[in-house]
Structures are given as C-alpha cells and as structure tokens.
Structure 1
Amino acid sequence: MTVLVLTCEADVTADMVVAELHEQGVPLVRFDPGDLPGGGSLSVEYVRGEFRGYLSSGGRVASMQGLRSVWIRRPSTPAAHAPEPSDWLSVESAHALYGMLDCTGARWMNHPSAAAKARRKPWQLRIAYLSGFPVPATLLTTHPTMARQFAEQYRHVVVKSVSGKSPGDPPMALPTTLVPPDADFSGVAAAPTMLQRYIAKRADIRLTSVGDRHFAARKATEPGQVDGRYGDTGHEWQAVEVPTPIARAVETYKKHAELAYGAFDFAEDSTGTWWFLECNQGGQFGFVELETGLPIARTVASWLGAELS
C-alpha cells in the first residue's frame, strides 16, 4: 500500500516526513499537482462499475487501488507548470486529479473539502468557542461605526487579515497590528475587516495535532509584542505539556472540522490562559521540531503509513 504526498518541489517540512516514511519502509509517491499535465500524468478508467486509476511522477507510479493515504502539504496549483498554463487548464486538472482521488478508500490529511472550510477564520472562531477554547472578542465588519464602537468598548484591539497573505508574486505579508481606539475607521468600508481584543501575552503557543497526538511548544515574548511571526525576541521554542482542557478542546475542534492534522496558535496571558487565535489546517511544523526535538514528522509518517482499518 502506497502513501501519496501532494506537495511542491521545495518544502523542508515535506522532506522531513518523506525521510521518515523511507525510514519506516513505507512505499510512497511524491507528486506536485503543478506538474499535471507534463512532469506528472494520470489515467483513470470507469468501465461497467469498475474503477482503475494511476498517477505517475518521476518514474514512480501510484495505483489508486493500492493507495493507503494522501497527505496534502502545500501542493502547487494544478497545471501551474504546464507549457501553456491557464485558469481553465488548472480547473480541468484539479477536477481530474482530486475527483480520481475521491474515488479511493484512502485516508486524507486533510481532505480538500474539509481543508477549504477549515481555512475560513470566521468559521474557525465559532467552532473554537463551541469546542471549549477561550476566544478573544472579535468583530468582522464593513461598517466603520461598528468598528469604532468595538474599539471604544475594548480599548486595546488588533486588526488582522481574514484570509492570510494577500495574493501577488511574492505575496505581501499582513502582520497583526495594534490599533488605537481613536483611529480613523472609515477605511473599514472598503473591505471586510477583522478586529480582535488584544491579548497581552507572555508567550506564543504552537500546538501541532497529528491524529490523536498533540505536541505543544512555547516561545516567550517581549512585553508589548503583537505578532509573534515578526521580530526576534531572543527566545527559542520549548516543548511544554498540553493542558487536559486544551487537549479535549483540540479533539472536539478536529472532529467538528473533520481534520486529521491541525496547527493551533494560542496567546498565553499572564494568568497562563491559552487564548485561541487560529488553526492552520496545513501549518508547517519543521521549525518547531528542529528547535524542540518533538517527533512530529515521525508521527505524521506513522499516521500516513498505518494500515487501513
């Protein structure tokens, strides 16, 4: 039985898991959807109710009948590397590839439909609250008046991206930024804007959940630091225990979201409370493993390589 790894050509996190799969003796095919058609190829046949499909890349072939699991790890857009790329060709290739994979009995980490829903922050916040996480008060609006009232109520608020990095080549980073209560909120009318009560944190927490195992790492922050992704605090990530209530909330969240994998970000305040910020269904973990030694790549590989029940 084969593991299919859908990823781009250069991804260190994928490399770590591929190395672990090789170490565990699990057959695998690494495939970049951007190479379809061209560097990668597929063939699928439906005859009298019978389904047969094959996917090949770099001289390796994966039979859909022998597919154990599929790991989606930052794959390129289908047909992105085609000699004559187009939006139409990308849509056609995506329907062919993922439609074929949906016909298999393979396990997914994570299924594209679940992943697409899980990326939406407004939905994340609702599910996080229902799962039992502490969630900062949040407003998503295009009404300047409502934005102003929210800022006046909570005094210290941050503005953050709803969808993540903006499109472009290269994409522009949009850091979470502290906004004063007397700011001019007229620009809110131009696009949906997310405001959130600022959590004065003493540490950032990254919790990586793989199947039923959870790995947490903590990185102390400097006073007043808003976005832990930017700026060097001089501190390193350190492995920490996962509080039982957080573990239960993670498991509930993943069940709601139908996720096998999730990278959860929290802000730890002065009382030790872990405030939910977001869950990245495809978040990288290489930097955490390299600094803490947590066996995340090995755990991902073991989940992917496990026998189907």
Structure 2
Amino acid sequence: MILVVSYPGEEHTDDVVSRLERAGREVVRIDLADFPAASGLSCTWEPGAPDAYRVHTPQGEVDLARARAGWWRRVRAHTLDPLVRDPDAVAFALSETNEAVSGMLDALGCPWMNPREADAAAHHKPLQWAVARQVGLTLPRTLVTTRPDDARAFIAELGVGKVVFKAFIAILEAWRETRLVEAQDLEQLDSVRFAPVIFQEYVPGVDLRIIAVGGKLYTAELDAQDTSYPVDMRMVIGEAKVRPAELPRALEDRLLALQRRLGLVYGAIDMRRTPDGEYVFFEVNPAGQWMFAQERTGLPISQAVADHLAVMADAGAREVVRR
C-alpha cells in the first residue's frame, strides 16, 4: 500500500495517484484537515499483536501499518468539530490531534517522499542557502533583515532597481510576488522592523525549474525576459517561452548533493542562467509544482514521481519481509 498525505483537488497529487492506480497499485489518501472533525483514528499497542494505526477514509477503515511507502505533499491544517469553541479547548484539541497524527505517521517506518522532518526543515530558506553554498552552488547577494538601516545600506550599495524583495513562503492568505525595489519603496523601509524581509541582488537571465525525483533531474527553461513581468516568472507563465533544457553535469552533481544534504527525495529547484552562462541558485521547494512545466515541455515528471513511489513501496515491502 502507498500512503498519500495530501488534500483533494491538488492536481499534482491527483495526476500521480491516478497513474499509480492504473498501474494496479493500492493507494490510500488521507487529508490532515479531516482529523479529528471528519475522520476517526485508533492506534493500538497490544501484547502479542502487531501495532495498528487505523483511520477512517471515504473507502472505509484502513490500517496504515500496511503502508510500504508514503508521500507527504501539500498538507492542510487539522480542523475541529464546530462545537469546540472555547479558545483554550481549541488550542488543546489541535495540539493533541497534532501529537497523535504526527506520531502515528512517524511510527509507520516506511520510506517517505519526503521524510516529514527533512521536508519541514528544508522549507526554511536560510538553511537551504547555507547548504547550497556548502555544495558549491552560486547564490545572489542576499540579506534577510528586520533592521531598516541594514536594508537601506544593502539597496544603496547595489542600486535602486537592482534589488528584489520577496517573501519566505507563498501563503494563500497573503501571496506576494517578487518585486524590484523602486524609488517609492525606499519610503516604506521602516516597516521592515515588523517582519523579516528577503532582499536579493536582481539577477537577469532565463529561469530554470528543475524537478528532482530521487537521483534524476528534469529541467524546464522558462524565458520570461521579454514578457510583461520578467522579475517573477510565476506571474507570466503563459507569456514565457518554455522548453526542456540540459544542465552541465557538474551542476547536476551539486544539485543532487543539495538534495541529499537536505534529506529530500523530491524537490522543485529554481535557478536562473545569466546571459554570460552563470547558473545562480534561488531556492528549492520540497512541495513545488511541476504541472505547468510538464504540460509545456512534455517532460514525464508525474510518471517519474509515480514510478519512484512504486520503487519505494517495493523496497519497503522487501524490508518488511527481511524483518
């Protein structure tokens, strides 16, 4: 059995799950938002009996102890019964639910794409950048700060129009594109003290979305230089010129080393190739999207993810037999 932890309607998950099921694989999908309001769980440890981790799904009760591989992708927060209203009770119920569900998943002992702890740590960009430099990747000049004077000095040194500012993570409640620092933004720099801001040297060139699945890389080149918003290719995917691309072998080795150091099986890596051929690393998203690149290039990324999960499940089954 392959366990998928994601939410309904996530198109990447839907595509991969359908491929696994067509290949005859048993897939059980759970949504963390169902616990505890819509889905029950019972975990038991009994003398002389195997550990059991039973959850209720739309298909019926399933013992997650049968999972031979897990896929952790774009999860949602737990939700409570609306009868639980007192703030202290809400905090307590959510904390208890997280302890039970997280512990249950971590106890399964199967291989994961990605391991949950590694996935959580790798979402932190300062860690990514530190490891990226250690494996030999090139980064743009970068400042993370809550000090307005440091922000002013960084911008003054590089020049207005040559620095971008961006958010650490894209959240639905407050999504923000990457923006160039313009003259009018200088008046707002005092607001940096309210929350950390990423400032980076603007790097012109062609964007690369590199999908790492296990030890393989699938690269799409997204040329947004002549679009209406070349600063952030996410804003102009439909305008960009998209095609498959090849990376230098030495760069591939460094990217795979980054994945290993971060403990990631899957990652969506963003880089930019400058006009003089330098490759600059921006970030790796442990749950990044690939469908937009797959649809425009024909790169078989969904199938690669499905195949790797199947390989992981087979390896997990062999490990159970050896025990």
What does 1:294-305 align with in structure 2 at a 5 Å threshold?
Answer: 294-305=299-310
- Contact 2:164–2:181, Cα closer than 8 Å, also in 1: yes
Q: CA deviation at 1:12?
A: 1.0
1:217 maps to which residue? 220
Q: Provide the C-alpha distance between the structure 2 equivalents of 1:108 and 1:88, rounded to a whole number of angstroms.
A: 29
Mean Cα displacement is larger for which, 287-296 or 32-41? 32-41
Q: Provide the C-alpha distance between the structure 2 equivalents of 1:294 and 1:188, rounded to a whole number of angstroms.
A: 41
Over residues 165-185 of structure 1, what are the superposed CA-to-partner deviations in whole Å (9 max), with x where a residue is unaligned?
3xxxx5122111111479233
Relative to 1, partners in 2 of residues 1:181 and 1:269: Cα closer, same or farther, differing over 3 Å? farther
**155, 163, 174: which one pairs with 1:157?**
163
Mean Cα displacement is larger for which, 97-106 or 12-21? 97-106
What does 1:77-88 align with in structure 2 at a 5 Å threshold?
Answer: 77-79=77-79, 82-84=81-83, 86-88=90-92
Q: Is 1:117 aligned to residue 121 of structure 2? A: yes
Report the structure, 1 or 2, having the larger strand content: 1
Q: Provide the C-alpha distance between the structure 2 equivalents of 1:96 and 1:286, rounded to a whole number of angstroms.
A: 33
Q: Is 1:288 aligned to residue 301 of structure 2? A: no
Over residues 196-215 of structure 1, what are the superposed CA-to-partner deviations in whole Å (9 max), with x where a residue is unaligned?
111012x2110010111110
Over residues 102-131 of structure 1, what are the superposed CA-to-partner deviations in whole Å (9 max), with x where a residue is unaligned?
112211111221111111111111111112
Report the 3-state secondary structure (helix = DSSP H, G, I; strand = E; otherwise coil) of the residue aligned with 2:25. Answer: coil
1:278 maps to which residue? 283
**187, 192, 197: which one pairs with 1:193?**
197
Q: Which runs of 4+ in 1 moved over 6 A?
A: none
Relative to 1, partners in 2 of residues 1:112 and 1:153: Cα closer, same or farther, differing over 3 Å? same
Q: Name structure 1 gaps, 5 residues minimum.
A: none
- Contact 2:70–2:113, Cα closer than 8 Å, also in 1: yes
Over residues 142-174 of structure 1, what are the superposed CA-to-partner deviations in whole Å (9 max), with x where a residue is unaligned?
222211211122221111112333xxxx51221
Q: CA deviation at 1:8?
A: 0.8
| Number of equivalent positions | 302
Relative to 1, partners in 2 of residues 1:62 and 1:303: Cα closer, same or farther, differing over 3 Å? farther
Q: Provide the C-alpha distance between the structure 2 equivalents of 1:91 and 1:292, rounded to a whole number of angstroms.
A: 43
**177, 180, 184: which one pairs with 2:179?**
177
1:108 maps to which residue? 112
Report the 3-state secondary structure (helix = DSSP H, G, I; strand = E; otherwise coil) of the residue aligned with 2:16. Answer: helix
Relative to 1, partners in 2 of residues 1:143 and 1:83: Cα closer, same or farther, differing over 3 Å? closer
Q: Name structure 2 gaps, 5 residues minimum.
A: 85-89
Q: Provide the C-alpha distance between the structure 1 equivalents of 2:262 and 2:25, rounded to a whole number of angstroms.
A: 28
Report the structure, 1 or 2, having the larger helix content: 2
Identity, % of aligned positions: 29
Q: CA deviation at 1:41?
A: 2.6
Q: Is 1:54 aligned to residue 54 of structure 2? A: yes
Amino acid at match of 1:35: D
